[in-house]
Structure 1
Amino acid sequence: MGTPAPAVGRRERKKQATRAALRDAALRLAIRDGVENVTVERIADEADVALRTFFNYFSSKEEAVVATVSSAAEALIAEFRARPRTESVLRAFREAVLVILNESDAANRDYLAVVRLIKRTPSLVPQQLAVLAAQEKALADAIGERVGSSDSVYPAVCAAAVLAALRIVVDQWQEPERVPSAAVLGRRIDLVIAELATGLDRP
């Protein structure tokens, strides 16, 4: 079995709650008013924290707005690490995605809202790319630990492939102004995982 997550103390829970409040405030304001009209001062005020507290958690408004994607990425890596070692890499990744997907409709709505926001806000793209690069590195490390071959190219290639496949599925899955069916996403994930499992080389 995977390693259970360590217990979170009161201090860490308060920090997580503050970060979440800032993240949610940034997203609300960005959706309502547009990223260009949001300031860090407004985000801090919306979250009811001091301005300097904002900078304890985020370096910019863009980082705060995209933090929902970062949180989802961290949750996916943690769930992948927790999967039983008897599962193959692709099976563990598939199950981890479905666990995250089924945890919270609200979280799914926020994630899709950020993805849509990024598509129409070029200033958010560099922050998104930074999140994706960090996620890819973290997943490659986790895959290397799982298969015991961190020195080979396989973990990096596998991490890049599955995350690219997931992004493609999410892009095709979402539709404006509504949260798509989790069952539909599950079926599409199964299809893309099957494609990866059979290999990409074709005549």
Structure 2
Amino acid sequence: MEPTAGLRERKKAETRQAIHKATLRLAVERGLDHVTVDDIVEAANISRRTFSNYFGSKEDALLYGEEERVRSLVRAVRERPAGEPGWQALRGAVRDMLEDMGELDREWAVRTALTKRHPSLLARQLANHAALERDLVQAIGERDRPGDPAADPRSRIMAAAFLVALRIATHIWIEEQESRPLARIVEEALDQLERPFR
């Protein structure tokens, strides 16, 4: 029973990823405003019903990769060694995530550039970041100040500063036309913030 369930989940993940990739490719080729759900369905070789089973809109499909990355970052922070302070856990988690991404760096750049041009995507991205910030406050607060992490201003400031540094690093990387590895720019940005959180 368990192998069958695992296979089913893997197939669902592959279908989600295929829809996301098709949406991203079409949005780059045509501009998001000129892409319909029917276009995505055709490009991904799926039915309209299948699309609706996985995503509510083309914006959802486009931002799926980012939302997965958000979830994996929070999970990575929670999985860091128990005695590691919050700031080190954040840095270690993002370092590992960027190493694992490797060839996905280009996709991140494309999606970020698209988001800057489309208000509907920007609003959704801001909501994602607010949710990520809450989850990170919880994850690092549990390490540094057990009890009620959300009540600890230090954890909230740390999570917000960390996310701002990631956003700035990503924008620098895109402005520099990806001439340096994103991981290096992220490390530099986090170095600027590190002293207050040691």
The match for 1:194 is: 194
RMSD: 2.1
Where does the alignment leave 5 or more consecutive residues of structure 1 unmatched?
Answer: 1-7, 199-203
The match for 2:181 is: 181
- Mean Cα displacement is larger for which, 27-36 or 45-54? 45-54
The DSSP-based 3-state class of the residue aligned with 2:175 is coil
User: Is the CA contact (8 Å cut-off) linking 1:44 and 1:54 kept in structure 2?
Assistant: yes
Question: What is the distance in 1 between the residues matched to 2:90 and 2:139?
Answer: 11
The match for 2:37 is: 40
Question: What is the distance in 1 between the residues matched to 2:161 and 2:190?
Answer: 14
Question: What is the distance in 1 between the residues matched to 2:54 and 2:131?
Answer: 17
Distance 1:190 1:122, change over 3 A: closer
The match for 1:140 is: 137
Which of residues 60, 64, 85 is equivalent to 1:63?
60
Which of residues 9, 26, 31 is equivalent to 2:28?
31
User: Is the CA contact (8 Å cut-off) linking 2:86 and 2:141 kept in structure 1?
Assistant: no
Question: What is the distance in 1 between the residues matched to 2:192 and 2:55?
Answer: 34
State how many pairs are aligned. Answer: 191
Distance 1:176 1:36, change over 3 A: farther
Which of residues 150, 162, 168 is equivalent to 2:148?
150
The match for 1:5 is: none
Structure with greater helix percent: 2
| CA deviations over 1:166-195 (Å, ceiling 9, x no partner) | 212222233365463145225314413424
Runs of 4+ in 1 over 6 A off after TM superposition: none
**Residues 1-203 of structure 1 mapped to structure 2, 5 A cutoff:** 9-147=6-144, 148-151=146-149, 152-154=151-153, 155-175=155-175, 177-178=177-178, 180-182=180-182, 184-197=184-197
Identity of counterpart residues, as a percentage? 37
User: Is the CA contact (8 Å cut-off) linking 2:161 and 2:193 kept in structure 1?
Assistant: no
The match for 1:4 is: none
The match for 1:3 is: none
Distance 1:180 1:57, change over 3 A: farther
Where does the alignment leave 5 or more consecutive residues of structure 2 unmatched?
Answer: none
| CA deviations over 1:53-74 (Å, ceiling 9, x no partner) | 1122211111211222111111
The DSSP-based 3-state class of the residue aligned with 1:104 is helix
Distance 1:183 1:141, change over 3 A: closer
Amino acid corresponding to residue 191 of structure 2 in structure 1:
L
Shift of 1:138: 1.7
Q: TM-score by structure 2 length?
A: 0.86
Question: What is the distance in 2 between the residues matched to 1:52 and 1:22?
Answer: 13
Shift of 1:132: 1.0
Distance 1:48 1:192, change over 3 A: farther
Q: TM-score by structure 1 length?
A: 0.84
